[in-house]
Amino acid sequence: MGAGTEPDGSSRSDEEWERFLRESVAGTADAPKEPSARAREVARRLRTEPDKGPDGWRSHPPERPKRRVGWYVVGLLAVLALLFVALAPGRVVDLVTGSDSSRPDAHRPTAQDPFRGSPAATWASGAAGITMPKEAKAVGWMSAAEVERALARSRDFLVASSLDRGVLRGERPEKAIALINPHQKDVQHLLKTAFRTPGEKNDPLLLFSRFQPSRAHLVGDVVKTRGALTYREGERGALQVTADVTFVYPVARPGGDEILRTIVRRELVLSWDDPDKVITEPGTFSIVSYKYDMTNGGCGTPTGYFVPPFGPDRHADESGREVDPYDRDTPFGRGGSAGDECGRATRS
C-alpha cells in the first residue's frame, strides 16, 4: 500500500510524502507570514487616521533658523549716532532744543545768556576761576601760614582790580591800590598820573579793568575767569607770586542790544618783600612786572577805559593780526604798554 492516497484515489510516492511532511514543519518560502504586534498596531492607526496626502509628517524639511539681521542694523545705527554726537555736539543740542545752529544768530550772546557760543561759557565765575596752590609751604622769610595769607591777598588784589563792580564802572580802585607798596616810586607815579592823564606808559588798564559807563556796561552779574596763582622764592628771600588769569567781560552799550565780550589776559608778578631788607608796609607787595593781552577792548589812543567796538567800529578793530584770546599757551604780546598792534579775536 502506498504511503498516502490523494482525494481522487491516486497514491503518493514515498519521496513526495516525505517532502510534504518536511515542508509542513519548516514552512515554504512563499507561504504568508504572521505580522508582528508592532506592524499590526501601525496598520490599525493608519486605517483610523484621516488621509493627510502624500507627504508624511517627516517629509517637511526642518525650518532654518532666522538670521538676526535686525540686531546688526540696530547696532550699526547706534554706532553712527555716537559718532555724530562726538563730531557735532552743538548740532545735537540744536536738535534737542529746537534751535538751528546754521542760523547766523544761533550763537549770538543775549542778555539772558551773555556767554552763549563762547568757550568761557563753561568757565568758573569771578574769584572761583582763579586757582590757588593746593598747599602753602614756607618760602624765604615767610612761614607756611604767612605764605598762605600772602596768596589770599594776592587774589584779593585781582578781585579788587579786575572784578569789582565799581571799578568796572570806572571808579577809582581804592581797595586794590591799598595793597600796593606805597614806597614803590615807579608804580606810585603810574597810579598818580594814569587816572588823570592816561597814556601809553601810564594807562590804568595796565593794572585795572575799567569801562566808561557812557560807552559800555557789564551785562549781567557774572565775569568768567580762568587762571592760577603760583609762587616761589624771589630776590632777597622775598615771596614772589605770579598771577596768570584771563577775564571775559560781556558788555553792551547803553540802550543797545548788541553784546560783545571783551577778553583780557593778565600776568602780574608780585613780590612780598622782607621788611628787614626792603622798605615796605605790612600787608602790601611790590609789583615786579605787569603784562596784558586784550581783544574787543578798543584800539588807538589810550583813554583809560576799555572801548568795545560796537557797530561800525568793529570793522576798524578787525584790521589787526588774528589772535585767539582763549589760547593760554601763547606768550604775552603786550608788556608795560598798551600801544602794540590791536589783535583781532578769532573767537570770543
pLDDT digits (tens, 9 = 90+) for 207-242: 999 999 999 999 999 999 999 999 999 999 999 999
Q: pLDDT at position 65, please?
A: 56
Share the mean pLDDT of the chain: 81
Has residue 70 got a pLDDT over 80? no
Residue the block writes with cell 557789564:
218
Model's pTM, two decimal places?
0.69
Has residue 271 got a pLDDT over 80? yes
Please state the rounded mean pLDDT for residues 120-143. 96
Has residue 198 got a pLDDT over 70? yes
Using DSSP, state whether 23 is helix, strand or coil.
Answer: helix
Distance CA 348, CA 263 (A): 7
| 313 or 271, which is more confident | 271
As given in the structure block, the three cell numbers for residue 246 are: 584771563
Has residue 138 got a pLDDT over 90? yes
Distance CA 244, CA 72 (A): 52
Q: pLDDT at position 346, please?
A: 84
Maximum Cα interatomic distance, the chain, rounded to a whole number of Å: 172
Has residue 151 got a pLDDT over 80? yes
Has residue 306 got a pLDDT over 70? yes
Has residue 307 got a pLDDT over 60? yes
Q: What percent of the chain has pLDDT over 70?
A: 68
Helical ranges in the chain per DSSP H:
14-26, 37-48, 69-87, 89-97, 144-162, 165-168, 174-177, 185-194, 313-317
Pick from 129, 143, 111, 154: which is nearest to 260 by CA? 111
Pick from 342, 163, 321: which is nearest to 243 by CA? 163
Q: Contacts from 161-164 at CB under 8 Å and sequence distance 24+?
A: 161/207, 161/208, 161/209, 162/208, 162/209, 162/223, 162/245, 162/247, 162/264, 162/266, 163/126, 163/127, 163/209, 163/223, 163/225, 163/247
Which residues on neighbouring strands pair with residue 229, listed in sequence order?
243
Please state the rounded mean pLDDT for residues 107-117. 92
pLDDT tier for residue 101 given thresholds of 50, 70 and 90: very low
Has residue 339 got a pLDDT over 50? no
If you compute the radius of gyration of the chain from its CA atoms, what whole number of angstroms results? 49
Q: pLDDT at position 20, please?
A: 63
Distance CA 114, CA 248 (A): 10
Residue 156, C-beta contacts closer than 8 angstroms, at least 6 positions apart: 175, 179
Query: H or E stretch including 294?
Result: strand 286-295
Residue 136, C-beta contacts closer than 8 angstroms, at least 6 positions apart: 144, 145, 147, 148, 151
Pick from 173, 150, 130, 163: which is nearest to 280 by CA? 150
pLDDT tier for residue 324 given thresholds of 50, 70 and 90: confident
Q: How far apart are the first and last CA of the chain?
A: 142
pLDDT tier for residue 47 given thresholds of 50, 70 and 90: low
Pick from 324, 318, 339, 345: which is nearest to 205 by CA? 339
Q: Please say whether the beta carbons of 325 and 263 come within 8 A.
A: yes
Q: Please say whether the beta carbons of 184 and 285 come within 8 A.
A: no
Q: pLDDT at position 336, please?
A: 45
Highest mean predicted confidence (pLDDT) among 50-59, 197-206, 221-230, 330-339: 221-230
